């Protein structure tokens, strides 16, 4: 547990190769255990939640908000899957929705920022950072990024379609 | 009860995956971190890191997180935080950067597969991460 004080600036003593491997394996297993002990209970809790109507209810609540990001209401279920589970679960919901390339990009952007929040929030806490603050940040940033992309997309559409229409293309 | 079995199977798979990635990663880090190449790479990234309020100590965990994701990156983050005693401020800034921009390769590829635009997603996430972390670094001054 206790580590010898190190002075990176002065150059720490370099241990020999076997010692480094041993330190690495030991530290690796300890870190893995630390992360597992936090993430596995959370994972089980979320997996059990999947069997309840909670996900459906949440999706219904978020559906009207989807419009803000240029997405259909059904996409809310994909977001609930991404937030609580992971991107693969979200993709399984997205594919049958037949979204436009812009909408898929929008989902990829927002879900890339905010996904697997429960388990990763736990993991972030084990690093010593404030896990829940960062999780709230992820949600807020995901929304901001979504609005930004929609704005950029809209302006881009105007900028391109305007001159084209003017020139007689449509 | 029916839901419990798949949940536990999934939990075992998750644990196995974490061990399989984190143990070799931390071992490789321990073996390699004394090489002079690491020190030189640190010199190269230092000015970039400074822009977002981080020091070179945070470079390895940051890049691990950007490419591999939070769960696997955390293995290195915890390790470095122990060794170098990263201050709260730096842990938070790094967390903020990674919250916005992590696991970029896997995340973006799976959305490109179903028709999304990879460059748009990557550009926006990276841009936002740099912007937000840079701003936050100026709000929360180093002690």
The ipTM is 0.81
Sorting pLDDT into bands at 50, 70 and 90, what band is B67?
confident
What is the C-alpha to C-alpha distance for residues B124 and A146, in angstroms, rounded to an integer?
Answer: 10
Q: State residue A142's pLDDT score.
A: 96
User: Tens digits of per-residue pLDDT, B1-50?
Assistant: 677 888 888 888 888 888 888 888 888 888 887 788 877 888 888 888 89
pLDDT reading at A68 higher than 60: yes
Residues in Cβ contact with A73 at an 8 Å cutoff, skipping those fewer than 6 apart = A63, A64, A66, A67
Q: Which of A71, A109, A126 to mutate to test the interface with B (most CBs of B within 10 A)?
A: A109
Q: State residue B101's pLDDT score.
A: 92
Show contacts of B107-110: CB within 8 Å, 24+ apart. Answer: B107/A87, B107/A108, B107/A111, B107/A112, B107/A115, B108/A108, B108/A112, B110/A87, B110/A88, B110/A91, B110/A108
- For chain B, the structural domain boundaries read 4-139
Please report where in the chains the tokens 């037949």 appear, as a residue: A98
Residues in Cβ contact with A13 at an 8 Å cutoff, skipping those fewer than 6 apart = none
A-chain residues near B34 (CB < 8 A): 14-15, 20
User: Tens digits of per-residue pLDDT, A16-67?
Assistant: 888 888 988 988 888 888 888 887 888 888 788 777 788 788 888 888 999 9
B-chain residues near A105 (CB < 8 A): 111, 116-117, 120-121
What is the C-alpha to C-alpha distance for residues B74 and A122, in angstroms, rounded to an integer?
Answer: 11
Instruction: Please tell me the pTM assigned to this model.
Output: 0.80
Within A13-99, residue ranges assigned H as helices are: 17-49, 54-62, 75-84, 87-94
Nearest chain A alpha carbon to B56: A8
Q: State residue B119's pLDDT score.
A: 92
């Amino acid at each position: 547990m206790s580590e010898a004080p190190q002075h990176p600036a002065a150059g720490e003593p370099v241990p020999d190769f076997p010692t480094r491997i041993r330190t690495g394996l030991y530290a690796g297993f300890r870190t893995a255990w630390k992360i597992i002990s936090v993430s596995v209970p959370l994972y089980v809790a979320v997996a059990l939640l999947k069997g309840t109507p909670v996900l459906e209810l949440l999706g219904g609540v978020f559906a009207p908000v989807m419009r803000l990001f240029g997405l259909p209401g059904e996409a809310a279920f994909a977001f609930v899957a991404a937030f609580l589970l992971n991107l693969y679960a979200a993709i399984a919901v997205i594919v049958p929705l037949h979204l436009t390339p812009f909408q898929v990009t929008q989902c990829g952007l927002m879900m890339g920022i905010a996904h697997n929040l429960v388990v990763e929030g736990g993991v972030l806490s084990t690093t010593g950072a404030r896990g829940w603050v960062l999780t709230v940040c992820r949600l807020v940033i995901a929304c901001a990024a979504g609005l930004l992309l929609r704005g950029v997309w809209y302006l881009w559409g105007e900028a391109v379609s305007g001159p084209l229409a003017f020139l007689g293309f449509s | 009860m029916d839901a419990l079995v798949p949940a536990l199977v999934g939990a075992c798979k998750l644990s196995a995956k974490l061990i399989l990635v984190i143990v070799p990663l931390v071992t490789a880090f321990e073996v390699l971190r004394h090489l002079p190449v690491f020190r030189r790479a640190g010199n190269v990234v230092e000015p970039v890191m400074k822009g977002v309020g981080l020091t070179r100590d945070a470079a390895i965990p940051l890049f691990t997180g950007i490419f591999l994701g939070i769960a696997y990156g955390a293995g290195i983050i915890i390790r470095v935080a122990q060794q170098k005693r990263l201050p709260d401020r730096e842990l938070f800034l790094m967390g903020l950067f990674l919250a916005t921009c992590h696991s970029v390769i896997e995340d973006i590829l799976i959305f490109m597969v179903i028709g999304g635009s990879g460059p748009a997603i990557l550009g926006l996430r990276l841009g936002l991460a740099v912007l937000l972390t840079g701003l936050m670094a100026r709000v929360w001054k180093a002690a």
